[in-house]
Amino acid sequence: MRTLILLTLLGACWAQFDPNVQSGRTAIVHLFEWRWADIAAECERYLGPNGFAGLQVSPPNENAVYYDPWRPWWERYQPISYKICTRSGNEQEFQDMVARCNDVGVRVYVDGVINHMCGAGGPGGTQSTCGSTYYPGKEDFPAVPFSSWDFNDGKCYTGSGNIENYQDATQVRNCRLVGLLDLALEKDYVRGKVAEYMNKLIGYGVAGFRLDAAKHMWPGDIQAIVNKLNNLNTRWFSGGAKPFIFQEVIDLGGEPITVNEYTGIGRVTEFKYGQKLGYIIRRWNGEKLSYLKNWGEGWGFMASGKALVFVDNHDTQRGHGPGGASVLTFWDSRLYKIAIGFMLAHPYGFARVMSSYNWPRDIQNGQDKNDWVGPPANSDGSTKPVTINADSTCGNGWVCEHRWRQIRNMVKFRNVADGQAFANWWDNGSNQIAFGRGNKAFIVINLDDWQLDATLQTGLPAGTYCDVISGQKEGSGCSGISVTVGGDGKARFQISNSAEDPFIAIHVDNKL
């Protein structure tokens, strides 16, 4: 009996690390700023059929509306209430999306902005996505309701009331992040309002949450809120399943707050991953691909089972937050595909792919003047739908990296490799590398300035395999390169350094 209770408790604790995905699905996509109606359609027509495990949505709760600059994406990180009412859609559309995605095996994770409300200098009045009235100067949000009692001012000792020094953990938690009104999350009333909002979403069928600005919340406060969360909706999840939690803590070293304070609560974003991978793939600072041999914990990252990994996110792709200079994005598409390919082939962490919209990037002295530009929108500010072109790419300004053949096929590669050990590493001491996943999958990358020509142990059964980067299996043949694996598991690979995609990936589901 005692063991049973212990096991149950352990199960409950561990559950926050479990993404609650359908078995055989392993990677999620951030559909940044997408409308709920478009996401519902994307689940049914693309994400479900192509093996995506889930998706992260932009914050669904009511936010401040800004006209100067005009409808920036970052207004969604300035909550006004917990009504489900944004440019992405209303509550009914949100519910419909979650149900339709779950029905095709695709999970929904909500970006939870619970550290703060809008900026102290926010517009106020009824300038909000649902028309709720608010008074930032008085810290009054009647639609929740929150009043000045519910904010942290009394506990912040900086002159400006803002976070001024990241070396001081107390002000990072108790002061305002870029002027955003900081909630007093130690108050049971505030915790209750936040949990009520999250539980409403859990009721609709969401599978978990990204916790925005987790570094700016005390771990004990986060734990107390998580303890108030309901189990997942049993229409789609097994009884007792807990919401998946991944916390946004940017720990690149050098600050007193580290990810270790948060890994007991749930997963944590591993920001070193995209930063360091950027350095390697760009070959900056003398980095080489061969150094990827011990990628993961060997590089000082948190334990694999605690990590949420990504190449870029909505901040780092436009210079918000620290550490973005080396980060690869769709703007560097050739190297980006390699970075995503590597991430999806490698077993470390739970992986998230980015899906962006285009904006008129304007870099001056290393800073993008247009880093604020919001999603493709009509003149009334409404977000434009994601249209699908005949060649299956997206229109209306949506980039849809997750639909790029190389990326979509590597999501499938990760599913096939799920649970298989990192195996058969090879490198040339420079920028040519290869590795496999058990006897299921194998990838070879050439970023040297010369051709790769090597006969390598793949670990795969003998046969002819279709490369899933240059094409895939179609009917009884390959639309791209084919690779012949001999009875000894070896295959010869030739990759030109000038190829648009200088990498090859094969797996048992694309064997002829």
Q: How far is CA 208 from each of CA 14, 137, 230, 321, 438, rounded to the nearest angstrom?
A: 14, 33, 11, 24, 30
Query: Quick check: 119 binds ligand QV4 (CB under 6 A)?
Result: yes
- Scan residues 327-346 and list those touching ligand QV4 (CB under 6 A): none
Which residues partner with 269 through β-bridges? 308
Number of residues lying near ligand QV4 (CB under 6 A): 23
Partner from ligand QV4, Ca ion, none binding residue 315, C-beta < 5-8 Å depending on class:
ligand QV4
Q: What is the rounded distance in angstroms from the CA atom of residue 197 to the CA atom of residue 61?
A: 9
| Closest among 456, 385, 386 to 426, alpha carbons compared | 456
Beta carbons within 8 Å of 22's beta carbon, 6+ residues apart: 53, 105, 107
Instruction: Select from 112-120, 267-275, 325-333, 373-381 the region that touches ligand QV4 (CB under 6 A).
Output: 112-120
Query: Quick check: 320 binds ligand QV4 (CB under 6 A)?
Result: yes
Comparing CB distances to Ca ion, the nearer of 218 and 425 is 218
Comparing CB distances to ligand QV4, the nearer of 207 and 213 is 213
Partner from ligand QV4, Ca ion, none binding residue 296, C-beta < 5-8 Å depending on class:
none
Show the beta-strand stretches assigned E in 302-412: 307-309, 350-355, 363-364, 367-368
CB of 191 to Ca ion, least distance (A): 13
Q: Give the x-and-dash track for 223-252 against ligand QV4 (CB under 6 A).
A: -------------------------x-x--
Per DSSP, 46 falls in state I
CA angle 454, 455, 461 (to 5 degrees): 140
Query: Quick check: 176 binds Ca ion (CB under 5 A)?
Result: no
Query: Quick check: 77 binds ligand QV4 (CB under 6 A)?
Result: yes
Partner from ligand QV4, Ca ion, none binding residue 182, C-beta < 5-8 Å depending on class:
Ca ion
Which residues partner with 134 through β-bridges? 125
Query: Quick check: 175 binds ligand QV4 (CB under 6 A)?
Result: no
| Closest among 249, 245, 308 to 12, alpha carbons compared | 245
Instruction: Select from 125-133, 176-184, 189-197, 279-287 the region that touches ligand QV4 (CB under 6 A).
Output: 176-184
CB of 379 to Ca ion, least distance (A): 37
Partner from ligand QV4, Ca ion, none binding residue 213, C-beta < 5-8 Å depending on class:
ligand QV4
Residues in the chain: 512
Instruction: Select from 70-78, 339-347, 355-363, 489-497 the region that touches ligand QV4 (CB under 6 A).
Output: 70-78
Query: Quick check: 322 binds ligand QV4 (CB under 6 A)?
Result: yes
Nearest 10 degrees: CA dihedral of 250, 252, 256, 257?
20
Q: Which of 51, 60, 112, 179 binds ligand QV4 (CB under 6 A)?
A: 179
Partner from Ca ion, ligand QV4, none binding residue 43, C-beta < 5-8 Å depending on class:
none
Q: What is the rounded distance in angstroms from the CA atom of residue 1 to the CA atom of residue 7?
A: 10
Residue 90 · residue 141 · CB < 8 Å = no
Partner from Ca ion, ligand QV4, none binding residue 444, C-beta < 5-8 Å depending on class:
none
| Closest among 279, 278, 296 to 425, alpha carbons compared | 296
Catalytic residue from among 75, 93, 248, 371 = 248
Q: What is the rounded distance in angstroms from the CA atom of residue 242 to the CA atom of residue 18?
A: 8
68: three-class secondary structure by DSSP: coil
Q: Which of 38, 42, 182, 401 binds Ca ion (CB under 5 A)?
A: 182
Neighbours of 55 (CB within 10 A): 25
| Closest among 447, 375, 374, 441 to 26, alpha carbons compared | 441
Comparing CB distances to ligand QV4, the nearer of 116 and 402 is 116
What is the bridge-based pairing of β-strands 79-86 and 180-182?
unpaired
Q: Which of 124, 319, 321, 489 binds ligand QV4 (CB under 6 A)?
A: 321
Catalytic residue from among 111, 212, 270, 501 = 212
Q: Give the x-and-dash track for 187-216 against ligand QV4 (CB under 6 A).
A: -------------------------xx-x-
Query: Quick check: 216 binds Ca ion (CB under 5 A)?
Result: yes
Comparing CB distances to ligand QV4, the nearer of 87 and 473 is 87
Q: Which of 74, 82, 271, 336 binds ligand QV4 (CB under 6 A)?
A: 74
Partner from ligand QV4, Ca ion, none binding residue 79, C-beta < 5-8 Å depending on class:
none
Neighbours of 400 (CB within 10 A): 24
Comparing CB distances to ligand QV4, the nearer of 48 and 119 is 119
- Token pair, residue 331, equals 């703007």
CB of 154 to ligand QV4, least distance (A): 18
Residue 386 · residue 394 · CB < 8 Å = yes
Nearest 10 degrees: CA dihedral of 354, 358, 360, 363?
20
Q: Give the x-and-dash track for 152-171 against ligand QV4 (CB under 6 A).
A: ----------x---------
Beta-carbon-side half-sphere exposure of residue 346 (alpha carbons within 13 Å): 26
Q: Is 270 marked active-site? A: no
Q: Is 212 marked active-site? A: yes
Partner from ligand QV4, Ca ion, none binding residue 178, C-beta < 5-8 Å depending on class:
ligand QV4
Q: What is the rounded distance in angstroms from the CA atom of residue 399 to the CA atom of residue 394?
A: 6
Query: Quick check: 128 binds ligand QV4 (CB under 6 A)?
Result: no
Q: How far is CA 355 from each of CA 39, 177, 386, 394, rounded to the nearest angstrom?
A: 12, 26, 12, 11
Cis peptide before 145 (omega within 30 of 0): yes
Catalytic residues: 212, 248
Per CB under 6 A, residues contacting ligand QV4 are 74-75, 77-78, 113, 119-122, 162, 177-180, 212-213, 215, 248, 250, 315, 320-322
Per CB under 5 A, residues contacting Ca ion are 115, 182, 216
